Amino acid sequence: MTANGRSALREMAEDFLFREAALLDAWRLDEWVDLFTDDARYVVPSTDLPEGDPARDLVFIDDDIVRLRARVARLNSRHSHRESPRSRTRRFVSNVRVEETGAGELRVSANVLVYRFRSGDGAPYVGTIEYLLRRKGGDLRIAYRRAVLDMEDLAWHGAVSIIF
């Protein structure tokens, strides 16, 4: 692929990731979950096993689309106590890398820093997110989203209570 083609591809992926980050920071979770395909998977491995496989290992989160929608319904509820009232978050997405997999899919990775503030306290979630993005019409959809945390444990936050 030409250099121009590569940057166009990266721009497309970045636009998508920036839009996703904005939706999450604004707590527009219903719109966010609509970015996923029906066969999507959202995985957050345990901090002590970043390469963890949910089919074999203990992870924090392994959602198919049914559980992901339920997670959003939960986070929209005032009974989701860890995020009710909601925390303030600000996401920074950088070091975006894109690769074509063929079959109309893009393999994308990005470094992500999310500052979360709540209850007089604030701390970052830091890590990398790997995506499989599928072209749909002129847009992209998330078929796979694996968010790997760099922290050694959840000492600051006590939970993965927001979407990382």
Partner 1 sequence: MDIKDLIVDDRDRGVFRVHRSCMTSADLFRQERERILDRCWIYLGHESEVEAPGDYRRRTVAGRPLFFIRGKDDRIRVFLNSCPHRGAMICRRDAGNAGVLQCFYHAWSFSTDGDLIGVPGEDAYGPHFDRTEFCLKEPPRVDSYRGFHFVSFNPHVEDLVTYLAGARDYLDLVVDQAERGMRVVPGSNRYTIKANWKLLAENSLDGYHLLPTHRTYVDYMAGLGTDESGESLAARPPGAGKALGGGHCVSENISRNGRPIARWHPIFGEEARERMARVRRRLVQKYGEERTYRMADTSRNLLIYPNLLIMDFVAISIRYIEPVAPDRMEVTAWHLVPREESGPALATRLDSYLTFLGPGGFATPDDVEVLESCQAGFRATEAEWSDISRGMLNPRPGTSDELQMRGFWRQWHAHMQGRSRTNVQDRANA
Applying CB under 8 A, the residues found at the interface with partner 1 are 44-49, 52, 54-62, 66-67, 70-71, 73-74, 77, 79-83, 119, 152-161
Nearer to partner 1, 19 or 82 (CB): 82
Q: How far is the CB of 123 from partner 1 (least distance, A)?
A: 11
How far apart are alpha carbons 146 and 38 in whole angstroms?
A: 16
With beta carbons less than 8 A apart as the criterion, state whether 20 and 36 touch: no
Q: How far is the CB of 56 from partner 1 (least distance, A)?
A: 7
Q: How far is the CB of 17 from partner 1 (least distance, A)?
A: 21
Q: How far is the CB of 43 from partner 1 (least distance, A)?
A: 10
DSSP 43: E
Nearer to partner 1, 100 or 117 (CB): 117
Amino acid at 9: L
Nearer to partner 1, 19 or 67 (CB): 67
What are φ and ψ of residue 6, in 5° steps? Answer: -65, -45
Q: Burial of 37 by CB count in 10 Å (0-12 exposed, 13-18 middle, 19+ buried)?
A: middle
Nearer to partner 1, 34 or 57 (CB): 57
Q: Give just the sign of the alpha carbon dihedral 31, 35, 39, 42.
A: negative
- Which residues partner with 118 through β-bridges? 121
